[in-house]
Amino acid sequence: MTLEAHVETLAKLFRRLREANFTVRPVKCVLGSSTIDFLGHRLGQGTISLQDENVEKVRNAPMPKTKKEVRAFLGLVGYYKEFVPNFAAISAPRSDLVRKGQPNTVNWADSQEKAYNSLKFALASKPVLQLPDINKMFILRTDAYGRGLGAALMQESDGMLFPVAYAIVVVIVVVVVVVVVVVVVVVVVVVVVVVAVVVVVVVVVAVVVVVLVVVVVVVVGVVVIHGSCTFPSREAAANFAKFPDL
């Protein structure tokens, strides 16, 4: 952005602030600068990088000796994980140090110390990401390896590809998700089968009850009809026999 365009943008901003009755504190404003520090990041000229003081914190961080110190370091470097390719895979050995059941005083294995040094080196080298431009085409590069799946979102600038962000999915996480999905599907199938069985049983019981009711009604009807019929007694039959002409 040119200085003239910057001044024009500021004029629009101040006009809208005035229309909305908003005020700003001059001490918190940065005008006419090509870079600005914001939330631990340095923004400027289409790029985003780490703030210098946080780079120094990472570079000068001592080797953690307790689980609390490990968590603090992981929190610091994790804030900038989008700057580190394969961050989750690199930091996985160090995450094992803070698992439940591990001693409070950490004992570093070779793989965990290597992960620590790799993270420090990756961030201390001041990595730079390209700010995304929605008017340009995005390119997604993917990779797969033993412990996970990696991806880099990139855009072209001046004939070269620059990273916009990195992503990493550890295979263990994928496996856990798949297992959870399978368990949910199995539970749903079991519930459906149980409901179907219950419905069938209810239908069978209902049919049996209806049949029994019909049988009872028929039997009662026969009994009632039989009871309402009168048959001549022996004496009446003998009297009729005396009058054959009748």
Number of residues that make up the chain: 246
- Which DSSP helix (H) or strand (E) runs through 155? strand 148-157
| pTM score | 0.51
Instruction: Report whether 101 contacts 109 (CB < 8 A).
Output: no
Task: Indicate the pairing of strand 35-38 with strand 138-144.
Answer: unpaired
In order along its 246 residues, the chain shows pLDDT tens digits of 678 888 899 999 999 999 999 998 888 888 888 888 888 888 887 788 888 888 888 888 888 888 888 888 888 888 888 888 777 777 777 777 777 777 788 788 888 888 888 888 888 877 878 888 888 888 888 777 666 677 788 888 777 788 887 775 554 455 566 778 888 888 888 998 998 899 899 888 888 888 888 888 877 777 667 655 555 556 655 655 565 555
- Whole-angstrom Cα distance, residue 91 to residue 231? 103
